[in-house]
Amino acid sequence: MNGSEEAVQATNEDANECKRCAVELRYWSDEFLQYFVRRCDRKAPEINRGYYARYKGISTLVDQFIKITGKKGQIINLGSGFDTTFWRLKSNNIKVKRFIDLDFKIVTSRKSFIIYHNKMLKDLISGNIRVTSSDLHSDDYHLVGADLGKLDEVKTKLQECDIEFNAPTLFIAECVLVYVDCDASHSLLSWFAQKFNHACFVNYEQINMEDTFGTVMMKNLRERGCLLAGVPACKNLETQRNRFIISNWDVSNAWDMMEVYTSIPLSERQRVEKLEFLDEHELLAQLFQHYCIAIGYKGELLRSIGFV
């Protein structure tokens, strides 16, 4: 692993700790995260609120996808880290045809080891579990190691998961493509658009990276050694939408996180806002204005997925 990959992995560890903190404060429920992520220091309220909006936004779209496709859909989580979506769905008796977590091999080997040695995680996986040094395969869950910047690697790993191009497919990427070279991410998105007939690509990522607040965000990440090779697509909502169109997706849309947060039912927002006193309302607003959820659509089936 090179220095940039190590730096990206460090940001992943930070994100996991932030999620663990928010879960412990009851922003949302996740009984499985504790097996992957150590307890950490309490984060600032605006950080917890921001991670809640991220979680709620993505989980809302996952729920919409499952409502449309039932057990026939497949979910591909790109740059998945220690994400626990598969187990949260399975523990609620929600099954999809195929769930694939994909990340760098150093991440998937750690995740595979944790899963294989934890009965609660293992018992929710259907069928025979087959493990290699960095991958794990079963009837309904696959964990594979690949570099998203290397399309041939991704193709090979998805084929090993018995991927079905005709099945409705939800792709999820959370702060992932910003670290991938624009040409490489274009090739990846174009290949997905070419191969999958009914697909929806959900991308949670930065926007407005050229204003003062965004420039500070980029400076902080670069000082940590992160090469933001994909940042040209993070200029604004329009560039996030356009990345799908130029990659031959049929339609795209994008919402900043303020729009996503205000789409959450009022009663749920009121519950969350009572959890911690928030002094830095302006900082939270700035954070929300510098992240978005963008969606690319292929085919008509999944076109209704999104926020109102």
Annotated binding-site ranges for S-adenosyl-L-methionine: 54, 79, 147-148, 174
Task: Output DSSP code: residue 43.
Answer: P
CA angle 254, 256, 261 (to 5 degrees): 120
Mode of pairing for the β-strands spanning 98-103 and 74-78: parallel
Element (H, E) at 137: strand 136-137
In the β-sheet with 251-256, what is the strand arrangement from edge to edge? 130-131, 136-137, 141-145, 98-103, 74-78, 169-174, 199-206, 291-298, 251-256
What are the backbone dihedrals phi and psi of residue 32, each rounded to the nearest 5 degrees, phi first? -100, -20
Helices of type H across the chain? 3-24, 45-69, 85-91, 105-116, 119-123, 151-160, 182-195, 212-223, 237-245, 257-262, 266-273, 281-288
Q: Going by DSSP bridges, is the β-strand pair 74-78/169-174 parallel, antiparallel, or unpaired?
A: parallel
Angle at 130 between CA 168 and CA 19, to 5 degrees: 65
The span from the CA of 161 to the CA of 142, in Å, is 6
Per the document, the length of the chain is: 308
First to last CA, the chain: 41
Q: Which among 280, 293, 306, 307 is positioned nearest to 47, based on CA atoms?
A: 280
Angstrom distance (rounded) from CA 255 to CA 7: 28
